[in-house]
Amino acid sequence: MSDSKSKDAKKQTRMPREWLATGRILTEALPFILRYDGKTVLIKYGGHAMGDRQLAQDFARDIVLIKQVGLNPIVVHGGGPQIADLLDRLKITSSFVDGLRVTDAATVEVVEMVLSGTINKGLVSDINHAGGRAVGLSGKDGNLIVARKLERPRKDPSSNIEKVLDLGFVGEPHKVSPHVLETILSSDLIPVVAPIGIGEAGETYNINADTAAGAVAGAMGASRLIMLTDVTGVLDKDGELIPKLTVSEARKLIEDGTISGGMIPKIETCMAAIDAGVEGVAILDGRVPHAVLLELFTDRGAGTLILRDS
């Protein structure tokens, strides 16, 4: 055999191996695609992944793929850093209490402008550019999220008297109407939701994105709630990832201090969503490319999966 023919033969044997590797990946994903066929999956999109252009484009493509293989994705997004940036530029001072932004009348206007405007429409555009058909909305649309003022009690250390802190226009979901999202999901559209709620009197409320995502997932009976964060998942006392937890195990980890700080409200949101009917909640590192696909379509997952007690 001549050298040129030998090289051509080697090239032909190399290329099928690459194709076979791709085929194996797709075959391994098939059982998971079938498992979630027609199911609703809610993805809370937030953290520093939102500020990385490549990760944002990867996320948009992943959402389109999820829709194309037969799942019903709903995206609820945050936007804390972007809000802080615009407040700084407008010279509007804001403060935080227990991780929640104190939101006065001027601040809530900026919050709504950033969440329902810049971020929401940017994400919609990315998904549409990736080949999907996304539609942006907030909790105000169709009374999707009717909110009430969030009251946060705190003890005065000097007097030991418990007082209710006034966080301004910070709200929590009171009622979630699934009709709007059900109508959207019955088509080929992908809903992208900004965590802005409407009060009984028509006032605007800023809602923590994790809390909004958990409430919407519960109301929609989602099969999975996926929380994208800036950590790998829930860690044990040695800093190692815990791949799977039950609700009772998570409570014990809170009690013994293994789960602490800002992870506590995330876990509480996860447990509340499971109590409301969500089958499982995954906490993932949104900085990992295609983390959502790895969680949904592989056996190993990509973070910590929290399930109800069997």
The pLDDT of 231-259, averaged and rounded, is 92
- CA 235 to chain CA mean position, Å: 19
Q: Measured between alpha carbons, how far is 24 from 56 in angstroms, rounded to an integer? A: 27
Residue spans of the domains in the chain: they are: 38-307
Torsion of the alpha carbons at 257, 261, 262 and 267, rounded to the nearest 10: 20
How far from 168 is each of 57, 105, 171, 224, 300, CA to CA, in Å?
A: 35, 8, 9, 32, 43
Model pLDDT for residues 6-24, shown as the tens digit of each residue: 555 455 445 566 665 666 6
The two structure tokens encoding residue 250: 């998570």
Pick among 3.30.70.580, 2.60.120.20, 3.30.70.1230, 3.40.1160.10: CATH of 38-307: 3.40.1160.10
pLDDT over 90 (residue 205): yes
pLDDT-above-90 percentage for the chain: 59
Most confident stretch, 27-31, 56-60, 285-289, 296-300: 56-60
More confident residue, 157 or 124: 124
Average pLDDT, the chain: 87
- pLDDT by residue (tens digit) across 131-144? 999 999 999 999 99
- Token digits of residue 264: 């506590």
Is the pLDDT higher at 263 or at 24?
A: 263
Per-residue pLDDT at 166: 76
Q: Which is more confidently placed, 144 or 33? A: 144
